[in-house]
């Protein structure tokens, strides 16, 4: 593992339309194959990223471990681009408001037993 702190952080704007958000790029992390990092949220939930020789396991199991840690997982679309979102279950209403502000739409939830495309615009 190699870690590089970005000091000062690189600050840049993201977001759609009227709602711009400032992000701070604070660290670069290079993993060797079969190394894993775990991000821990304020709610105690864990999110693992594991490097493999062929690429990455980008998330723990979506319909088991993430669910057990209180996360819902979905694919959203914005301006023709698709994103994977992990949402804290207790913050679903805040998340739905964010999607509306950013003009994003949920394509489907990945943590449900049957995956189907949402009909929400």
pLDDT in tens, 30-75: 999 999 999 998 889 999 999 999 999 999 999 999 999 999 999 9
- Asked if 50 contacts 56 with a C-beta cutoff of 8 angstroms, the reply is yes
Q: Is the pLDDT of residue 16 over 80?
A: no
Stated pTM of the model? 0.82
Cis peptide before 8 (omega within 30 of 0): yes
**Averaged pLDDT, 93-106:** 94
Distance CA 14, CA 106 (A): 19
**Can you read off the two tokens belonging to residue 108?**
């489907």
What confidence category does residue 120 fall into, taking pLDDT thresholds of 50, 70 and 90?
Answer: low
Q: How far is CA 83 from CA 52, 58, 65, 88, in A?
A: 22, 12, 20, 16
pLDDT digits (tens, 9 = 90+) for 26-40: 999 999 999 999 999
**What pLDDT score was predicted for residue 112?**
86
Distance CA 103, CA 115 (A): 22
């Amino acid at each position: 593992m190699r870690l590089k702190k970005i000091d000062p952080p690189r600050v840049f704007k993201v977001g759609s339309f009227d709602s711009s958000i400032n992000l701070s790029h604070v660290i670069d992390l290079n993993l060797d194959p079969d190394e894993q990092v775990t991000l821990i949220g304020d709610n105690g939930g864990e999110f693992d990223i594991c490097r493999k020789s062929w690429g990455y396991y980008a998330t723990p199991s979506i319909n088991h471990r993430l669910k057990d840690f209180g996360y819902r997982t979905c694919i959203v679309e914005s301006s023709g681009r698709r994103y994977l979102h992990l949402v804290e279950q207790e913050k679903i209403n805040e998340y739905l408001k964010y999607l509306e502000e950013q003009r994003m739409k949920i394509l489907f939830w990945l943590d449900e037993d049957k995956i189907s495309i949402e009909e929400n615009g």
